[in-house]
Amino acid sequence: MEQNQGPDRRTLLRGAAVASGAAVIGASAASPAGASPTTSAAEPPMSFRADWNARPPSSPVQILQTPPTHVVVHHTATANSTDHSLDHALALSRSIQNFHMDTNGWIDVGQQFTISRGGHLVEGRDRAVPAVREGVHCVGTHVANNNNTCVGIENEGTYMEEGPTQELIDRLVETLAWLCGSYGLDPQTAILGHRDFNATACPGDVLYAMLPDLRNAVSSLMLAQGMEIGTRTVSAEDRPTYPEVPENEPEGEFLHGPARGPDDFSR
């Protein structure tokens, strides 16, 4: 598919790295001279559940002491809005929660975090932020049969034929660096797309194709901030199987592939 006119993905990712103070993508980054490596990650600016008047979950969210092994990139499968305001980002989170709870019957928002096209990072599922700060896992509902090992980021828009905004990419790189640093993960192996786990087009052909450059940008940012690249490994049985996307995958707002499978223990 042809991408709509605008900056190509390498330009977008290069902009993210420069805006974050990291090395240009493709170049080797190093910790600042004299700095000691650390796993303490810089928490990006974000809005919390109270900011968008989140409803309380219908049941307590499950917390696992074992941290996640992957960070999964999604798209919301909604319109590519030109409203980049914070008010729009907060309204989007309310809409997602209403859909997930009232239509899907889940206990709360499925994903842990949402990033709007204006680059606003918003806490999603209850306990998501405290879990990251404490190094534990807030179990979501966003990737079928793998929710106990994956933390999810929904990116506003549909990215089958065009790419995200620069603002979204900048915040996504920062958020991925925060999560990888907090959980001791290597961006090169930890950052995956929804379609790596389930038969779905999510996060869209264009955004999915950006993942290798995203991983490099995240690694560069972590090193530029003096963070160690994690060394945690994933056992073979826990690695994704790369299923085929069905031709009849549902289309529509918030419908972007399976989020809960028969083996999941949390809604």
* Range 200-215 average pLDDT: 97
Question: By percentage, how much of the chain surpasses pLDDT 70?
Answer: 81
The CATH number of the domain holding residue 219 is 3.40.80.10
* Burial profile 209-239: b = 16 or more Cβ within 10 angstroms, e = fewer: ebbebbbbbbbbbbbbbbbbbbeeeeeeeee
For the chain, what is the domain count?
1
Given a contact cutoff of 8 angstroms between Cβ atoms, the answer to whether 240 and 41 are in contact is: no
Of residues 48 and 36, the one with the higher pLDDT is: 48
Arithmetic mean of pLDDT over the chain: 86
Res 48: pLDDT = 98
| Residue 176 structural domain | 15-22+45-55+63-230
Instruction: Please check whether residue 35 lies inside any domain of the structure.
Output: no
Instruction: Please check whether residue 92 lies inside any domain of the structure.
Output: yes
pLDDT tens across 213-237, in order? 999 999 999 999 998 888 776 666 6
